[in-house]
Amino acid sequence: MTKPVTLELSDFFPYQFSVLAQQMSDYLATIYNKQYGLSKFEWRVLASVAQCGNVSATGIMEITRLDKMQVSRAIAKLKTQQILVQIPSKTDKRANDVKLTAQGETLYQTIVPLIKAQEQKLLENLSAAERQALVAITNKLSNALDQ
């Protein structure tokens, strides 16, 4: 009789990475959630719209890797809060894009320095070489998963 195969989650890289991602999300949420009332999905949508300008829900899904329902709900809430507005798409007359309102741009410009400072505080735990290696390894793994 063979011994059953077991998986020690604490030693399993995908699990470790998932836990780290959740910890980082929670760490940053202290800013955008607790101070500004945005969910992680709303923050990701806001940040992607700020990065892209006018963008479709599909474009947001591609950037954020969120599913259609998460993006739709975030857009709806951000529209209600007058952070985003919908405008007719220039490339697809059947669709709408979203863009930031002046209030949304102000909110984004307020949050970004705080998020970047929080990121810097976390990364201070790594040397410059470790930071470079982390970025390179993360990009390499992400590219491998995209193929």
Q: What are phi and psi of 14, to 5 degrees?
A: -55, -35
Contact between residue 81 and residue 42 where contact means Cβ atoms under 8 Å apart: no
Grade residue 94 by pLDDT with cuts at 50, 70 and 90.
confident
Residues constituting the chain:
147
pLDDT digits (tens, 9 = 90+) for 34-54: 999 999 999 999 999 999 999
User: Taking 90 as the threshold, does the pLDDT of residue 16 lie above it?
Assistant: yes
Mean pLDDT of the chain: 94
Query: What is the dotted CATH code of the domain comprising 27-120?
Result: 1.10.10.10
Q: Which residues pair with 118 in a beta bridge?
A: none
Residue 121's pLDDT band (boundaries 50, 70, 90)? Answer: very high
